[in-house]
Structure 1
């Protein structure tokens, strides 16, 4: 079987001093699960690895269970393969080249999200901030940054379906993970 390269996106780890998980331990945990080429990116829960078995959902479930057992807390985990991560970066509807990384974000979802969920958000009221939906992602252009974005605040309000996981990364992380997962 051929090894495929994946990125694991952990939600809410090492944020504001909560759910601390040293990246060296995360790397060791992935290696202990039999994965190769393990690398982490930043302290905020991004890991790249190769796997000869499994799919995105089974790999995410395996890692989620291992993290809970090892660290003693639960975190949501999304696993995406390199081809998908590159497709997300390539499909960005905003001109990323002219923007700062803090202005452009991608929220990854564990499953497709119905556009109707966001239909009540009048984008015109938040200009120049804008969002667009893609393949299991939401692209957000927030010119003043995510923390100051009134649009980002509105986008987080529509309740997500039970079991749907969402985690956001800035553009630097989006493109770096796409590069790191090149086979």
Structure 2
């Protein structure tokens, strides 16, 4: 398994309000059934890490979506990202993550790089003190009162911004934990 790459699977919209229930033990079984090793889950909101000899994250995501649909009977959008990408996202954070609470900082992951023009209408000072920055297939969002109260977070989720992409958001605590779980020292 030493040549296997580590990945994180980010599932969108499961276990929220009693909808699309995906027990983490069953998700681990689905991932193991696809031949992945070292499968672990984090929280109940659709975060899993695994190792695979395969090297195409998009193909891994489509395969996982199909397996989830076959197992649970509903479609769940999935993003699969490499451990090195997760580390790069954490390292490139334009906000002082160490000084903020995890609920104040979020990363919205995109399936491909969105063009800056999608975000042009959201610039300026209209959302202050909330701010966002565009990164590599990620939007960093600073929302001092949390995502649930964030007007900017709401605007960043509008179809004009996200249409044509699979997207999912994680708070900074989850990003940090996924970096740790996919790191070189993790099993």
Question: What are structure 1's unaligned runs of at least 5 residues?
Answer: none
RMSD: 1.1
Distance in 2 between residues matched to 1:101 and 1:145, nearest whole Å: 9
- Is 1:6 aligned with 2:7? yes
How do 1:59-138 and structure 2 match up within 5 A? 59-138=60-139
- Is 1:161 aligned with 2:163? yes
Distance in 2 between residues matched to 1:129 and 1:158, nearest whole Å: 20
Question: What are structure 2's unaligned runs of at least 5 residues?
Answer: none
List 4+ stretches of structure 1 deviating above 4 A: none
Secondary structure class of the residue paired with 1:16: coil
What is the total number of aligned residue pairs between the two structures?
Answer: 182
TM-score normalised according to structure 2 size: 0.94
TM-score normalised according to structure 1 size: 0.96
Distance in 2 between residues matched to 1:137 and 1:53, nearest whole Å: 23
